[in-house]
Structure 1
Amino acid sequence: MAVVLPEETTTPLSTDHVEPAKPAGKKEHKLARALLYVILIVAAAAMLTPFFWMIMSSLKEANAVFSVPVQWIPEVFVWQNYVDIWTKSDIMTWIGNTMILSVTVTALQVLTGSFAAYGFSRIKFPGRDVLFLLYVGTIAVPWQSYMIPQFILLSNANLSNTLWAIILLQAFGAFGVFLMKQFYETIPMELSEAARLDGLSEYGIWRRIMLPLSIPAIASLSLLTFVNTWNDYLGPLIYLRDPSLWTMQLGLKNFVSSLYDVDYGVLFAGLTISVLPIAIVFLLGQRYFVEGIATSGMKG
Structure 2
Amino acid sequence: MSQSVNVVIGGGTGLIGKALSAKLTSMNINIRIISRCPRGKGDLSWKTIETCGLPEDTHVLVNLAGRTIGEINPMLLFPKNNRQFLEELRSSRIETTKMLVNNLPTSAKKMINSSAVGFYKPDMDRCYTEDDPYVDYDFITRLVHEWESSCAGPKLSGVQCVLLRTGVVLSKNGGALSSMYWPHRLGLGGPVGNGRQWFSWIHIDDLVNLVCFLITDPSSESLTGPINATSPNPVRQYAFSRALSESVGAPPLGGRLPTPPFVIRAMMGRERAPLLLEGQRVLPVKAQAAGFKFAFPTLEAALENIYGKRPGPVPID
TM-score, normalization by structure 1? 0.22
Q: Which has the higher helix share?
A: 1
TM-score, normalization by structure 2? 0.21
Name which one, 1 or 2, has greater alpha-carbon Rg. 1
Q: Which has the higher strand share?
A: 2
